[in-house]
Amino acid sequence: MAERTYFDWNATAPLREEARAAMVAALELTGNASSVHGEGRAARHIVEEAREQVANLVGAEARNVTFTSGATEANMLALTPSISTAGEKARRDRLFVSAIEHPSVRSGGRFPAELVEELPVTGDGLADLHALRKAVARAERPLVSVMLANNETGVIEPIREIADIVHTANGVLHVDAVQGPGRIDCRIGDLGADLMSLSAHKLGGPQGAGALIRRDDIHIAEPLIKGGGQERGQRAGSENVAAIAGFGAAAAMAAIQADAARMTALRDRLEAGIQAATPQAVIFGAGALRLPNTTLFAVPGIKAETAIIAFDLNGIAVSSGSACSSGKVQASHVLRAMGVEPALVQGAVRVSLGWSTCETDVERLLNAWNKVTSSLLNKHANAA
Ligand code: PMP
């Protein structure tokens, strides 16, 4: 393949070298992590080491990390009425999710549809705290799910404030923190989260691994997957030792990665270049605090699908708001919730950066943008 430049880190990050090495080493082993013999204990050792590494990334206790097949499963495990806290065994009576959540959260998890409510966001994509306060007051034991940072816009949610509101209302807070590690602080205690979902492949581990992390006194009575007693009864099935090993190694790297300032500078350069080439470009969520690596923008008259294909032909991988399973570009529910007009929603292009992105990559993207936009806008003008 000709030279490619990858700008879709929020969809998936490249596998880190350390993760690859840990996975290859784990694949050499034969043992089942639940077996008592030496082979089994060797596999168990790998899983438990990874659990420590993931716990360390978010400042949690290793015993409170449950490995899953990814963040989608972690979200499904978390969103259940059967969560009890130290003081209370009663079921959660209502689920509130912000309107910009990942589809796995918006699905309502294991709550019956009539008990799930969506919470509005502001024009900048921030959870509407006034609406949240009113909503949780309508429930006796609410469960609230708000993401740490949005995968499309990069907008960072005020989780600490949300936690205070939820806890005052006798509620439990779940945070989908998938886009945070290696970019912003994800410590469960600092955030005030009770439950937190992570995905290995967003931080340089393999696809198909993730975790649900709990605060000490939070308990999920009904696991999503029942069977053997693996993962302290929270998730049955033999652990995917190699994937978990890769997750752990990637988490250890993400915990020491501190290049937010470098990433922000690259992202700012990118946005300045886009606005210089197309001053009519709208950058979504620009008024809010955002992840250092993400920009989502649209130019009136340019459809995302056309732009993405044009970029691709120029060797550059960008995406529309999110990677949807069918590979089609769909109108973003995030931008719709932010009140963006439909024509502009159709044009949203996401560029997301990562640890190996450098200035040359950004210049390459800007050169391609100059080339792509002039021909796309000409076409638009001729068609009009
Ligand atoms: N939540 C968010 C915010 C995400 O960006 C993603 C991945 N697109 C997920 C959940 C799902 O993660 P996984 O691919 O591990 O199921």
pLDDT digits (tens, 9 = 90+) for 5-39: 999 999 999 999 999 999 999 999 999 999 999 99
DSSP class of 350: E
Residues 198 and 78 in one domain: yes
Residues 233 and 263 in one domain: no
Residues 235 and 321 in one domain: no
Residues 120 and 149 in one domain: yes
Distance CA 200, CA 380 (A): 41
Which tokens is 295 given? 């920009």
Residues 26 and 88 in one domain: yes
- Which protein residues are within 6 Å of ligand 1, measured from CB? 70-72, 102, 104, 147, 151, 176, 178-179, 199, 210
Residue 153 sits in a domain whose CATH number is: 3.40.640.10
The domain boundary, picked from 214, 231, 256, lies at: 256
Give me the percent of the chain exceeding a pLDDT of 70. 95
Does position 300 have pLDDT exceeding 60, yes or no? Answer: yes
Residues 66 and 193 in one domain: yes
Q: Does this model's pTM top 0.85?
A: yes
Give the pLDDT of residue 380: 61
Q: How confident is the model at residue 326 (pLDDT cuts 50, 70, 90)?
A: very low
Residues 194 and 325 in one domain: no
| Helix (H) or strand (E) segment spanning residue 180 | none
Total of domains in the chain: 2
Residues 168 and 40 in one domain: yes
pLDDT digits (tens, 9 = 90+) for 331-354: 899 999 999 999 999 999 999 999
Residues 274 and 239 in one domain: no
The domain boundary, picked from 202, 226, 256, lies at: 256
Range of the domain at 231: 17-256
**C-alpha of residue 146 to centroid of ligand 1, in Å:** 13
Residues 62 and 206 in one domain: yes
Nearest to 122 by CA among 362, 366, 337, 300: 337
Residues 143 and 154 in one domain: yes
Catalytic-role residue among 29, 225, 282, 324: 324
Give the pLDDT of residue 382: 61
Average pLDDT rounded to a whole number, residues 240-259:
95
| Helix (H) or strand (E) segment spanning residue 21 | helix 17-27
**C-alpha of residue 355 to centroid of ligand 1, in Å:** 19
Q: Which of 54, 104, 105, 183 to mutate to test the pocket of ligand 1 (most atoms within 8 A of CB)?
A: 104
| Helix (H) or strand (E) segment spanning residue 43 | helix 38-58
The domain boundary, picked from 208, 223, 256, lies at: 256
Does position 253 have pLDDT exceeding 50, yes or no? Answer: yes
Nearest to 138 by CA among 113, 99, 169, 109: 169
Alpha-carbon distance values, 142 to 22, 92, 247 (Å)? 40, 6, 31
Determine if residue 237 is left, alpha or beta; phi over 0 gives left, psi from -120 to 50 gives alpha, anything else beta.
left
Q: How confident is the model at residue 86 (pLDDT cuts 50, 70, 90)?
A: confident
Instruction: Calculate the dihedral angle through the C-alpha atoms of 32, 38, 39, 42, rounding to the nearest 10 degrees.
Output: 80
Q: How confident is the model at residue 325 (pLDDT cuts 50, 70, 90)?
A: very low
Distance CA 377, CA 294 (A): 24
Residues 328 and 196 in one domain: no
Residue 262 sits in a domain whose CATH number is: 3.90.1150.10
Does position 328 have pLDDT exceeding 70, yes or no? Answer: no
